Chain A
Amino acid sequence: MKITDIFQETYSALISNKVRSGLTILGIVIGIGSVIAMISIGQGAQNSIESNIQALGSNLIIVTPGAQKGVGVQISSGRGSAVTLTNEDASVIEAQVSGIRAVAPDLSSRYQVTAKGTNTNTSVVGTTPSYIDVRNVQVDTGVFISEYNVKSMSKVAVLGPSVRDDLFGVDVDAIGQTIKINKITFTIIGITKAKGGGGQSQDDMIFVPLITAQKFLAGSERLSTISIQAIDQDSMADVQAQITALLLASHNITDPTKADFSILNQADIAASASSITDTLKILLGSIAGISLLVGGIGIMNMMLTTVTERTREIGLRKAIGAKNKDISTQFLTEAIVLTFVGGVFGVLFGWGASLLITKFSTITTQVSLSSVLLAFGVSALIGIVFGYYPARRAAGLNPIEALRYE
């Protein structure tokens, strides 16, 4: 039997049962489509988390107030709630720890911000000039907070691009204009460059001088974080150990398990985040895998029905000279074509679904070539696996009995 004939036979067999073929294909479309869509969500979530972590800065160590509660889930536990980190701690670290490039203490809190009739609620970060290096912030227009601003408690503010867009409109030059944070007037001196990333993005922040924030906004000397940039990757562990020892000593704590502060480094955050997203991907992938399996069983079901229905036809084909191999090839091809067509439409469907998810949710999904190839491979495999048994059954029919079958 020629290959073109096999496909011709397959085409006419499938087309003569359009509804059943269509529904069977639909099962595979949904299966493959959900694999593509789910993996794209997982990939998107991973990318977004990774870019957020990268956006934090490089070689970063973060000290937060409150007890150490482990890495990951408790990243912000106790942040801002306990007054255990002060300007003094930041100065001590800067003065006594070796192997650091910069230290940036900050006090962050959410406030209602107004400007000429518009208003927004956003994160206001009181900090020092070194924040720009430590947290990898870039100024787009204007200037960042200066040492002088901090010392003189200037009421100046640097806006993230999202805040500027919210308050003044997209790409409006806001420098020199004023905003009110917690009813106190601040003059805008700069706008930071857009960095992207979801969640608590740096684009959606207002930076003010640290002392200004402590005196006029919070009314307390506390810090929410101290960000430290180590000189390189290798010195991170050493710097972290020095800071721990130093802060324990200056806070008069002898038992390290009772520390009133937490230290996190970027690598820990990245590792825990990637373990979360990996789990997420596996979870989403297995849900989609189940629907693919159900689709595959649908193929097998249809093929078995078809073989029974076409028993006489199989008998006839054998009578006119078809060998067992010809019959099994024909039915296996039917199964593979069903899954292949389902695979093509499934990829399109999954792709479309992931585009819609990107459009209507905060997750930017990403369809990877590998997931498309995987989906095709799996769909072809499903055709072979679930088509094999029905095809064998068809080929094994006795022609005499098949011809008599009613």
Chain B
Amino acid sequence: MIECKNISKTYTDGEETPVLKNISFTINDGEFVAIMGPSGSGKSTLMHILGALDIPTSGKYFLDGIDVSTMTDNELADVRKNKIGFVFQSFNLLSRTSVIRNVTLPLIYAEVEPEEREKKAITALTQAGMDESRFNYLSNQISGGQMQRVAIARALVNNPSLILADEPTGNLDTKTGDIVLHTFQTLNEKQKKTIILITHELYVAEHANRIIHIRDGAIVEDKKNDNKRFIHHTHNL
């Protein structure tokens, strides 16, 4: 469970720039939430705080009941390792490295036994809808949509409490983007994964169950998504 209480973030770079102002919300386990806002709205900063990459200037952030907002760098690294899975716009896969090895990468830092790593990676890749025949392909031999599926599998592999996806369809065409969104929906429905999707596109946000609108560092709207989009026909890539 995620609980944000009056989170503010101010960058002091010569002059003070408030980026997030007094943000509060709660996300329960198993929710699929989109955080939506135009560029400069503070959604990336919020994502960094939710992802334990940064800490707020004031306010509290509880992840599974643990206060993350005052942690040191090393403690934050442990939180990211054990509780958070990231999916980035530009995939960030290791180049010229096999799909399997990309997925097992977080397990190296989590010190999972080598024998178990592959098993976990295969489970995660299957959940992310990756075709088994491509597990040993190199990351530069597969398409963009498949790359993002590998990235999703990498986010899933250590069984995190929260999956944070930052513009996951930003580098993909609509059709491929749909497949990725469908993957998130499936993960949410079937695996009961908690997913936070950060985007600036309403179309993308509408695949989630709940949409939090942010503008100028403050929440302007936080409500259930009444016209959720479903993707029915996915083509295997």
The one of A9, A316, A318, A319 in contact with B108, judged by C-beta atoms closer than 8 angstroms, is A9
Max count, chain A CB within 10 A of own CB: residue among B92, B108, B114: B108
Asked whether A320 lies within 8 Å of B73 as measured between CB atoms, the reply is no
Query: A1 contacts B111, CB within 8 Å?
Result: yes
How many A residues face the partner with a CB closer than 8 A? 23
**Residue among B86, B94, B110 making CB contact with A319, cutoff 8 Å:** B86
Q: Which residues of A contact B90 (CB under 8 A)?
A: 312
User: How many A-B contacts are there with CB distance less than 8 Å?
Assistant: 63
Q: Which chain B residues lie closer than 8 Å to A403 at the CB level?
A: 88, 92
Q: Which residues does chain B contribute within 8 Å of A2, judged by CB atoms?
A: 108, 111
Residue B86 contacts which of A4, A16, A320, A324 (CB distance < 8 angstroms)?
A: A320
Given contacts A399-B53, A400-B53, A403-B88, contact A321 B106 (CB under 8 A): yes
A369-406 with Cβ < 8 A to chain B = 399-400, 403
B109 contact from A4, A317, A324, A400, Cβ within 8 A:
A317
Bitwise, A1-44 to B at CB < 8 A (1) or not (0) is 11011000100100010000000000000000000000000000
Is the pair A321, B80 in contact by a Cβ cutoff of 8 Å? Answer: yes
Shortest beta-carbon distance from A348 to chain B in Å:
30
Q: Give the B interface residue count (CB, 8 A).
A: 28
| B:12-65 near A, CB below 8 Å | 48, 51, 53-54
CA distance A326 to B110 in the complex (A): 11
- If A319-B80, A403-B88 touch, whether A16 touches B96 (CB-CB below 8 Å) is yes
Q: Which residue of A lies closest to B155 (CB)?
A: A320
Inter-chain contact B51/A319, CB cutoff 8 Å: yes
Q: Are B54 and A400 in contact (CB under 8 A)?
A: yes
Nearest-Cβ distance from residue B94 to partner chain A, whole angstroms: 6
B-chain residues with CB within 8 Å of residue A1 when the two chains form the complex: 108-109, 111
Task: Indicate whether A321 sits within 8 Å of B109 (C-beta atoms), given known contacts A16-B96, A403-B92.
Answer: yes
A4 neighbours in B (Cβ, 8 Å): 114
A184 within 8 A of B: no
Q: What sequence of 0s and 1s flags, for each residue 56-83 of chain B, a beta carbon within 8 Å of any chain A beta carbon?
A: 0000000000000000011001101110
Residue in A16, A312, A320, A399 whose beta carbon sits within 8 Å of that of B105 in the complex: A320
Nearest Cβ in chain B — how far from A290, in angstroms?
A: 36
- When the two chains form their complex, are residues B88 and A324 in contact, meaning their CB atoms are under 8 A apart? no
Q: In whole angstroms, how far apart are the Cα atoms of A400 and B51 in the complex? A: 10
Contact check, B95 vs A320: say whether CB atoms are below 8 A apart.
no
B97 at the interface (CB under 8 A from A): yes
Report A-chain residues with C-beta under 8 Å of the C-beta of B51: 319
Q: Is B200 at the interface (CB under 8 A from chain A)?
A: no
